[in-house]
Amino acid sequence: MFKKLLIANRGEIAVRILRSCRELGIRTVTVHSEADVQAAHVRLADESYLLGPAPVAQSYLRADRILEIAREVGVDAIHPGYGLLSENPSFARACQDAGIVFIGPSPEAIARMGLKVQARAELESIGVPVVPGHGQALSGADEAREVAGRIGYPVMLKASAGGGGIGMERIDGPEALEKAFKLCQGRAKAYFGNGDLYLEKFLDQPRHIEIQVLADAHGGAWQLGERECSIQRRHQKVLEEAPSVALTPEVRARMGEVALRIVRHLGYVNAGTLEFLLDASGAFYFLEMNTRLQVEHPVTELVTGLDLVALQLRVAAGDRLDLGPAPHEPRGHAIEVRLTAEDPVTFLPAPGTLDEVRWPEGVRIDTWVESGTTLSPHYDPLVAKIIAHGTTREEAIRTLRTALGEVVVTGTRTNLTALMGILEDPEFQRGTYSTQFLATRRVAAGV
């Protein structure tokens, strides 16, 4: 096992990784910006080092500075968390070249799945179902208009190198296509340095289902069941649960088999997530692969009893998955909500200093804040993930509703009322919702 590990991230996920490292007896090194000097991940680590000013381009995205620190302090491994450098194949390769283990898949696997046009074409060639569409980068708005006419409106225009809903637009007719193309291409270039776009058929009222996978370097691979991620605002997940009430045993088995087929085809090692869209008929389609730990990994941990971060570390250290028991059927039901510092009506970020923070008992809280924490406008507004587990879905909902009623976060505005509104909505309670749930409800504004 590693003796010393650097966490190339901040906030909630850095604290989460610190916890598993401590349990495994691994010394920890964190990095921070000027805005995060007093942050929890700085105080809890054995060592912490300054990267630069608050903007991520001058701090947490400084791969060169992170590797310089890693070499200077003699770490064995780097865990990138999620976001930031976690799916950057150049950073993973630079770690390898420096003789430092990157806690994640190979640079080659990250690159193969990072560009969605190529990933879609490659996986379609091995029989993985994909959303009907155009499997090549579009040359311009004129080709997009021709392809959309052939596929049939509505269509989804997407950035090939994108993620998190950035560079993605629904288009209902040819008159809107040219403006949308310029908008998506501009965003894709700004966020990802790659303006390639492609088109897919828009699926009406789908479910967003993902499968957690984990594989070792010895040919062992697990699929750890699904997470339901259909409660989204502007393609950003707000609530996740496991297992999904939408899957029959037959569809669950087929989806798991496809996920493992992809893992074995890629020769994939470490944790990853296969994302699918599920239609009303039970047909499912590959959407993308996230070659990292997901924000919503706690719901899988609660229904499997596994520590996914610890397993990532063990796999990266060369251990076999058969060192522990094989995963079993999900144990009960887990639901996670993301508490964010946002205006509950406009959903614009609401940075500021938290006056008072109090968390409820009886649920899992993954957070990095406490009374007095300052939320910077430079970073994601995530305050905490609140996760409830029950023997049934109904019990998990009741537990989470009670817990949210006991949350105290003052000093800024949050989406707490919107989260409570989701849990109280009859359609959510029935489990019959789709990815359009928030778009069609006033609960999206917390009223």
Percent of the chain with pLDDT over 90: 74
Percent of the chain with pLDDT over 70: 96
The amino acid at residue 423 is L
Query: Considering only 140-149, 313-322, 420-429, which range has the smallest mean pLDDT?
Result: 140-149
In this prediction, residues 96-101 reach a mean pLDDT of 97
* Residue 108: inside a domain: no
Instruction: Examine the pLDDT at 444 and tell me if it is beyond 80.
Output: no
Cis peptide before 330 (omega within 30 of 0): no
Could you confirm whether 292 is annotated as catalytic?
A: yes
Q: What is the pLDDT of residues 157-192, one digit of tens each?
A: 988 877 667 878 889 998 888 888 989 999 888 888
Task: Identify whether residues 185 and 260 lie together within a single domain.
Answer: no
Task: Identify whether residues 229 and 336 lie together within a single domain.
Answer: yes
Task: Identify whether residues 89 and 138 lie together within a single domain.
Answer: no
* Residue 124: inside a domain: no
**3-state helix vs strand vs coil in the chain, percent to 5:** 35, 25, 40
Task: Identify whether residues 402 and 438 lie together within a single domain.
Answer: yes
Distance CA 376, CA 357 (A): 17
* Residue 111: inside a domain: no
Point out the domain boundary residue: 151, 179, 201. Answer: 201
pTM reported for the whole predicted model: 0.90
Q: What is the pLDDT of residues 119-129, one digit of tens each?
A: 988 999 999 99
**Residues 6 or more apart whose Cβ sits within 8 Å of residue 92:** 102, 104, 105, 106, 107, 110
Task: Identify whether residues 161 and 239 lie together within a single domain.
Answer: no
Both tokens assigned to 247 = 């899957």
Our count of domains for the chain comes to 3
Instruction: Examine the pLDDT at 447 and tell me if it is beyond 60.
Output: no
Residue 40, domain CATH? 3.40.50.20
* Residue 116: inside a domain: no
Instruction: Examine the pLDDT at 63 and tell me if it is beyond 60.
Output: yes
Residue pair 306/151 in contact (Cβ under 8 Å)? The answer is no
Point out the domain boundary residue: 201, 229, 245. Answer: 201
Token look-up 């707000």 returns: 238
Point out the domain boundary residue: 149, 166, 201. Answer: 201
Residue 437, domain CATH? 3.30.470.20
Q: From the candidates 292, 314, 338, 413, which is the catalytic residue? A: 292
Angle at 206 between CA 205 and CA 212, to 5 degrees: 155
Q: What is the pLDDT of residues 351-410, one digit of tens each?
A: 999 999 999 999 999 999 999 999 999 999 999 999 999 999 999 999 999 999 999 999
In this prediction, residues 34-60 reach a mean pLDDT of 97
* Residue 121: inside a domain: no
Token look-up 């649920």 returns: 363
β-bridge pairing 333-340 and 236-242: antiparallel
Distance CA 12, CA 93 (A): 26
* Residue 126: inside a domain: no
Residue 167, domain CATH? 3.30.1490.20
Name the phi and psi angles at 94, rounded to 5.
-65, -35
* Residue 148: inside a domain: yes
Task: Identify whether residues 420 and 337 lie together within a single domain.
Answer: yes
Spatial CA neighbour of 380 closest among 42, 35, 48: 35
Instruction: Examine the pLDDT at 260 and tell me if it is beyond 60.
Output: yes
Distance CA 168, CA 334 (A): 30
In this prediction, residues 75-104 reach a mean pLDDT of 97
Both tokens assigned to 51 = 């990267």
3 state DSSP class of 80: coil
Distance CA 376, CA 117 (A): 35
Task: Identify whether residues 164 and 231 lie together within a single domain.
Answer: no
Residue 193: burial class (beta carbons within 10 Å; 0-12, 13-18, 19+):
exposed
Distance CA 92, CA 96 (A): 6
* Residue 308: inside a domain: yes
| DSSP one-letter code for 62 | -
3 state DSSP class of 251: helix
Distance CA 131, CA 284 (A): 8
Q: How far is CA 44 from the centre of its chain?
A: 24
Task: Identify whether residues 146 and 283 lie together within a single domain.
Answer: no
Residue pair 190/395 in contact (Cβ under 8 Å)? The answer is no
User: What does the mean pLDDT of the chain come to?
Assistant: 93
Instruction: Examine the pLDDT at 445 and tell me if it is beyond 60.
Output: no
Q: How far is CA 115 from the centre of its chain?
A: 17
Distance CA 346, CA 254 (A): 40
Task: Identify whether residues 161 and 303 lie together within a single domain.
Answer: no
Spatial CA neighbour of 183 closest among 164, 204, 159: 159
Q: What is the pLDDT of residues 333-352, one digit of tens each?
A: 999 999 999 987 788 899 99
Domain range for 175: 132-201
Query: To the nearest 10°, the Cα dihedral for 144, 148, 150, 154?
Result: 180
Task: Identify whether residues 345 and 370 lie together within a single domain.
Answer: yes
Task: Identify whether residues 152 and 239 lie together within a single domain.
Answer: no
Spatial CA neighbour of 230 closest among 13, 439, 415, 447: 439
Residue pair 223/259 in contact (Cβ under 8 Å)? The answer is yes
Task: Identify whether residues 187 and 250 lie together within a single domain.
Answer: no
